[in-house]
Structure 1
């Protein structure tokens, strides 16, 4: 399916978003727009507010200003930097997939049709053989692949990624880029918090540079004009 004929994901609009935590300014008057169906990367220094902005969009952080979506945004997929998970909890990968994607009480487990969807998603992210394995025994890269699989179940209209390639080996990074590229080509709007500017140059359509405030916003080519300190 080419992007011209696909159903586009939503536009994402941040309007004068500010956030303070513990008396410290995290975000200050952040305003920009992500176009429908764009593959947009959010870049900037550590502590600059990128993850806080993403969590504000998810409704997880108290903020002033407005964040709104223009167009259908569900299903929504989200891949966090990591999952806060007790390795001693006896849950398999399949259990975690059912828990994260549950539409009914977790103790019922996933239905047969949903299990098939999860199995297909795990296969797409290269960990199809790990469904019965204890989630706590996985490597960091394997856990990230599982989190990516749950974000693809079902296929999202809006995909939010918070440095999902952290801890993933080179083959995993290539797979991640290919999957995100496929979703973007089908019209999904992608917002990707990313610290790897080489990767951003490879995959991004547009970018926003943020360090509490918006420092730059536009096509990915603007990265070539940034001073060395911003890179």
Structure 2
């Protein structure tokens, strides 16, 4: 799900989260989160389910009301291209929509019912993720891993300056994981900023340039080899207080996430 229609990357922005609070109902999801993502970094965010990782992304995308500041510092006067890859996409699998039709819905301004815009090279993006031979296949007939590869393909149209990834490796098979690693390498070479929410700590150790541990608050932030020590990981995934809003006497709820 890409923004802008330019074709040449201009370099990724820095991202600044400054004392960000996010509350759903009476439950505090993000509590005074301050974090900086450097331009051109592959910055991973890890933590337990319910720890606020996806909420942080929604705050960045403007999809969740929050307090505090979220800022993108672009190199230059105009913003560049932003791409977002969710963990999955909800749709009616019975729709007679091909892979190329699906990309047209996400990537072009021309109405999709008029057909794919031939000025956009969907084939090249699909080839990059190993799906060129399935561009005419019905999207609903694809496997979960194949659908995830198509979501990765749409992030390449047009070439992005900022990529936001919400656990993109969940459904990928071994070949898909290899393709994902190659895409990350391409993004780094192009100076693209990547904010990557991920649960696979081994992959984060290998592929990220920086990692932040988030469990309602930022518990650590730094190079993956140093930050992902057994003690830090255990602390990150252990039970922590989940504060609720209201009077001082309100109950506190404790959530536990499995390591």
Q: TM-score, normalised by structure 2?
A: 0.83
Which residue of the partner structure matches residue 65 of structure 2? Answer: 62
Unaligned runs of 5+ in 2: 1-8, 237-258
From 97, 106, 115, the counterpart of 1:100 = 106
The answer to whether the 8 Å contact 2:30/2:216 transfers is yes
Deviation at 1:204, TM superposition (A): 0.7
* Structure 2 match to 1:192: 196
Structure 1: 4+ residue segments shifted above 4 A = none
2:83 to 59, 65, 77: 77
Higher helix fraction: Structure 1 or Structure 2?
1
Aligned pair partner of 2:42 in 39, 44, 47: 39
Residue 88, structure 1, aligned to residue 94, structure 2: yes
Kindly provide the CA deviation profile for residues 76-130 of structure 1, in whole angstroms up to 9, marking residues without a partner as x: 111100001111122111110000112122222332121xx11100010011111
Which of structures 1 and 2 has the bigger CA Rg?
A: 2
Residue 154 of structure 2 aligns to a residue whose secondary structure is helix
State the Cα RMSD in Å: 1.5
Deviation at 1:199?
0.3
Which one of the candidate residues 21, 27, 32 is aligned to 1:24? 27
**In structure 1, the residue corresponding to 2:149 is in which secondary structure?**
helix
Aligned to 2:180: 176
SS in 2 for 1:74: coil
Report how far residue 223 of structure 1 moved. Answer: 2.7
Cα distance in 1, alignment partners of residues 63 and 230 from structure 2: 31
Secondary structure of the residue that 2:96 maps to in structure 1?
coil
**Structure 1 position 224, deviation (Å):** 3.8
Distance 1:41 1:191 in 2: 6
How many pairs are equivalent?
224
